[in-house]
Structure 1
Amino acid sequence: MARIQTIRTHTLIVILFSAFLSLETGCKKTEELPTPEVTVQAVHPEVGSISEQIAADATLAPLAQAAIAPKVTAPVRKFYVQRGSHVKAGQLLASLESSDLEAAAMDNKGAYRSAQAVYETTTRATALEDYTKAQLDLTQAKATLDLNQSIVAARSQLLAQGAIPGRDLDTAKATLVQSQAAYDIAKQHFDAVQQVSREASLENARGQLASAKGKYLGAQAQLSYTEIRSPIDGVITDRPLFAGETAGAGMPVITVMDTSALLAKLHIAQVQAQQLTLGAAAEITVPGITDPVAAKVSLISPALDPGSTTVEVWLRVENPKGLFRAGTSVHAVITGRTAANATLIPTEAVQTAADGTTKSVMVIAADGSAHKRPVVLGIQTATTVQVLSGLTTTDSVITTGAYGLEDGTKVKVGAPDADKPDSSNTVDKPGAAKKADQ
């Protein structure tokens, strides 16, 4: 029994010793495993210029447009243009049937000429004749009065000398009273003709002439409405009727657009509009046109749109060859504020905290570990962002691979996996960090 007990003891010792050796070996192997490293892509911040890009959808509108509608209802006699015809301001585009209006204009023209003749007669004959007759009557009455006054004076002397009887003087005085009354009447008539009658006759003649002229001009205007002319230079974009169809008063029969330049009308936020100035550079992307088209800001609305509280902005796009068409939907990008000598990093390097406002980046320390660093950003574009504070050009900023990376994780800069889309190609990005930096 003692021998069996001894064998069991030795066996237990061997097992424990073997377990101890296995545990020690496992610990050594664990300690010998290298710390894992995460492969990332990184860049150095660069100093350069960056401009704010304000993007919005817009619709092209003509520089000027006129939907021409006649003022009279009449059948269309003839069209002189087709859709697509280029026209000049004042050019005749169409004519309406106007026989009745021509007759009315001719009738009023005759009445106008008649009124002119009456006016000439009144001013040069009738009124002058009345004035002359009244003047002659006054002169004759004055001569008769003077004669009778001299007779009364002479007979008064003769009566004083006893040469004539008293009844002769009385007769002369009675005749003098009659001639004085005749003179007063002639004087009043002359004054009336001179001041009232002549002016009234002339005014009546003027009124009749003005009335006849107004009717004639009205008839001429009605006749002119049957000729439809273009108010602007442009191109015919719509002509809904054909010759012989009736054009209704107030209904457009021809539309003219000035498309020598087009306006891209868009709405942007008030904060963005405050950064814009007239003449600011812009680009629009037109469907079917490969390259972006240059444009300029031509109008910034001084008031907000009451419905959306946005600001309407117009971009002028030159269209000398007529390549672009009004009504086309386009995408516009306006160059806003610009910062020179700015610290720039790729946009994808920026991480946003859960609060939506705090921004940070992952920076590689000298020992190869990644650390989160808060930054303050300025102007941002789709690919590049301005860093106002938090980075220097000597920092190495992780662009790809920083998502979900723990602070202090060992990293190494390397190329992206070949089987993954290369969304962070560092060739065109500011200050791409090289492997040699490690």
Structure 2
Amino acid sequence: MQKTSAGTLPTDIERGRGQLATAEAALNQAQTIYDRRNELFKLGAIPGRDLLTSQTDLAKAQADYDVAKKSLELLKTQSGERDIAIARARVEQAKAHLAQADAQLSFTDLRSPFPGTVTDQFQYPGDMAQPGTPTFIVMDLSVVTARAQVPESQVGQVKIGQACSFTSSDATVSAGSGRVTVVNKAIDATRRTVEVWCEIQNQSAAVRGGVFGQATFITGKVPAAVVVPLAAVQFKEGTRTGTVMVVDAKNIAHQRDVQAGETMGDVVRIVEGVKPGETVVTEGSYSLPDGAQVKTGEAGKKEAGEKEP
């Protein structure tokens, strides 16, 4: 292309105007797409990478527009530093292209939104990643939540903020104490239970993710409470009432109706029906008739040991 000292050729100016109009249309389109995706992102309808792509496209369109505008201005003014300004504009355009490439490259980095522990992996080097397919599962085990199913007949005693604890099935001691954070407002129609959450500090990582266990809720304290082994009570299905075989001074077992309270591990509190100090049958009471003669304590063990095999 031949340069003239007198000025810029009219065809160059018209060409510059056409490039500016094209760049302006592309910029308006990129701005419209970005605004729409920004609203969708705020509503949680699209992932962040889609918004980042729109930002990069908008920056590129803006750079292209600025280059076209500057080029047209330079063609009109025909300044002495025309070549330098065009070179600078091209550098800015190259930077915009580089930013777009960096944005695409950033999609290859997998970053967890919070610090935690990888508990499962679904894809490995060489696998083709697919949208919507998880690669890892990351859990924050510093605080764990035990989700317990409490019978509807007992859930009325459980309140948010009460103390609770959890013992996992793979441990012999409690993982620590916590607080009740959620008491579901709905009852499971099948199991007739209510889901209750017990949140526990797990800084030592004593509890694993997804483990089963037993949750205990402290609903209150009852001084001088009467408790018996859980195996001694024959409950009526779906209730806290049942029967206990109470042994008198003559080792005669008598069936007695009882009202049970809270269950704590392998013992249950008796609200009504058993007095402190009374002896109850803990094994074989299911088929034991009322008024049967029984052996208690060491006497029963000794006779069992004297029988012939």
| 1:301 to 2:254 alignment | no
Shift in alpha-carbon separation, 1:371–1:316, aligned structure 2, 3 A:
closer
| 1:322 to 2:205 alignment | yes
- Give the distance between the partners of 1:105 and 1:416, measured in 2 at CA: 88
Shift in alpha-carbon separation, 1:295–1:113, aligned structure 2, 3 A:
farther
- The 5-angstrom pairing of residues 110-149 of structure 1 reads 110-114=63-67
The residue number in structure 2 matching 1:404 is 289
The residue number in structure 1 matching 2:222 is 340
The residue number in structure 1 matching 2:154 is 272
3-state secondary structure, aligned to 1:418: helix
Shift in alpha-carbon separation, 1:370–1:338, aligned structure 2, 3 A:
farther
Range 265-274 or range 356-365, more displaced: 356-365
Cα drift, residue 221 of structure 1: 6.4
Shift in alpha-carbon separation, 1:241–1:414, aligned structure 2, 3 A:
closer
1:18-39 deviation line (CA, Å, top 9, x unaligned): xxxxxxxxxxxxxxxxxxxxxx
The residue number in structure 1 matching 2:139 is 257
| Percent of pairs with identical residues | 24
Greater relative contact order (Cα < 8 A, sep 6+): 1
Cα drift, residue 332 of structure 1: 1.0
**Residue type at the aligned position of 1:278:** I
- Give the distance between the partners of 1:231 and 1:117, measured in 2 at CA: 42
**Residue type at the aligned position of 1:240:** Q
Instruction: Indicate if the aligned counterparts of 2:226 and 2:274 stay in contact, CA closer than 8 A.
Output: no
- Give the distance between the partners of 2:149 and 2:187, measured in 1 at CA: 10
Report the structure number with the largest CA radius of gyration: 1
C-alpha root-mean-square deviation of aligned residues, in Å?
A: 4.9
Work out which of the residue numbers 116, 121, 124 in structure 2 matches 1:234: 116
Instruction: Indicate if the aligned counterparts of 1:105 and 1:223 stay in contact, CA closer than 8 A.
Output: no
| 1:416 to 2:306 alignment | no
**Residue type at the aligned position of 2:302:** A
3-state secondary structure, aligned to 1:404: coil
The residue number in structure 2 matching 1:94 is none
1:293-314 deviation line (CA, Å, top 9, x unaligned): 2243332222234554432222
1:290-341 deviation line (CA, Å, top 9, x unaligned): 323224333222223455443222233433233443233x221313534523
The residue number in structure 1 matching 2:169 is 286
The residue number in structure 2 matching 1:359 is 243
- The 5-angstrom pairing of residues 211-226 of structure 1 reads 225-226=107-108
3-state secondary structure, aligned to 1:311: strand
Cα drift, residue 112 of structure 1: 4.2
1:222-254 deviation line (CA, Å, top 9, x unaligned): 665454432112233426132x65433333344
**Residue type at the aligned position of 2:142:** S
Instruction: Indicate if the aligned counterparts of 2:244 and 2:256 stay in contact, CA closer than 8 A.
Output: yes
Shift in alpha-carbon separation, 1:284–1:251, aligned structure 2, 3 A:
same
Unaligned runs of 5+ in 2: 1-46, 75-95
The TM-score, its normalising length taken from structure 1, stands at: 0.38
**Residue type at the aligned position of 1:299:** V
| 1:383 to 2:267 alignment | yes
- Give the distance between the partners of 2:234 and 2:139, measured in 1 at CA: 50
Shift in alpha-carbon separation, 1:221–1:270, aligned structure 2, 3 A:
farther
3-state secondary structure, aligned to 2:141: strand
Shift in alpha-carbon separation, 1:419–1:378, aligned structure 2, 3 A:
same
Work out which of the residue numbers 209, 213, 216 in structure 2 matches 1:331: 213
Instruction: Indicate if the aligned counterparts of 1:70 and 1:251 stay in contact, CA closer than 8 A.
Output: no
Instruction: Indicate if the aligned counterparts of 1:351 and 1:361 stay in contact, CA closer than 8 A.
Output: no
3-state secondary structure, aligned to 2:154: helix
The residue number in structure 1 matching 2:61 is 108
3-state secondary structure, aligned to 1:337: coil
**Residue type at the aligned position of 2:114:** I
3-state secondary structure, aligned to 1:247: coil
1:336-389 deviation line (CA, Å, top 9, x unaligned): 534523451534666779xx9663654636xx585847454231543343242x
Instruction: Indicate if the aligned counterparts of 2:244 and 2:281 stay in contact, CA closer than 8 A.
Output: no
- Give the distance between the partners of 1:260 and 1:299, measured in 2 at CA: 19
Instruction: Indicate if the aligned counterparts of 1:266 and 1:312 stay in contact, CA closer than 8 A.
Output: yes
- Give the distance between the partners of 1:254 and 1:362, measured in 2 at CA: 57
1:1-33 deviation line (CA, Å, top 9, x unaligned): xxxxxxxxxxxxxxxxxxxxxxxxxxxxxxxxx
Shift in alpha-carbon separation, 1:304–1:420, aligned structure 2, 3 A:
same
3-state secondary structure, aligned to 1:274: helix
3-state secondary structure, aligned to 1:416: helix
The residue number in structure 2 matching 1:60 is none
The TM-score, its normalising length taken from structure 2, stands at: 0.51
